[in-house]
């Protein structure tokens, strides 16, 4: 099965890149308006990345 999100670790930031429209809509509906986006991916500080990944898995999304 294909992942809904591709997570990339760059050390000082993580990028949560939605791979389909449902995943992107979920992020846009559930993050603050002032969230930082880069090339379509949500920029996340390392201290929040594991909690966000766990929440996505709990909501039935697949991540890679």
Residue 63 domain-assigned?
no
Query: Does residue 15 lie within any of the structural domains?
Result: yes
Provide the number of structural domains found in the chain: 1
33 domain residue, yes or no: yes
Give the contacts of 45 (CB within 8 A, at least 6 positions apart). Answer: 13, 14
In whole angstroms, what separates CA 45 from the centre of its chain? 11
Rounded alpha-carbon distances, angstroms, from residue 48 to 1, 13, 20: 26, 10, 22
Confirm whether 45 is domain-assigned: yes
pLDDT at 47 over 80: yes
CB-neighbour burial class of residue 21 (10 A; exposed 0-12, middle 13-18, buried 19+): exposed
- The mean pLDDT of the chain is 96
For residue 48, being part of any structural domain is answered with yes
The pLDDT confidence band at residue 40, using thresholds 50, 70 and 90, is: very high
Q: What is the pTM of this model?
A: 0.93
Q: Find the domain containing 52 and state its range.
A: 5-58
Is 18 domain-assigned?
yes
Task: Confirm whether 64 is domain-assigned.
Answer: no
């Amino acid at each position: 099965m294909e992942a809904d999100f591709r997570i990339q670790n760059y050390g000082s930031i993580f990028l949560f890149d939605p791979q389909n429209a449902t995943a992107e809509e979920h992020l846009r509906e559930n993050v603050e308006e002032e969230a930082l986006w880069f090339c379509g991916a949500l920029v996340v500080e390392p201290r929040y990345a594991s909690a966000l990944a766990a929440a996505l898995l709990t909501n039935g999304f697949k991540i890679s």
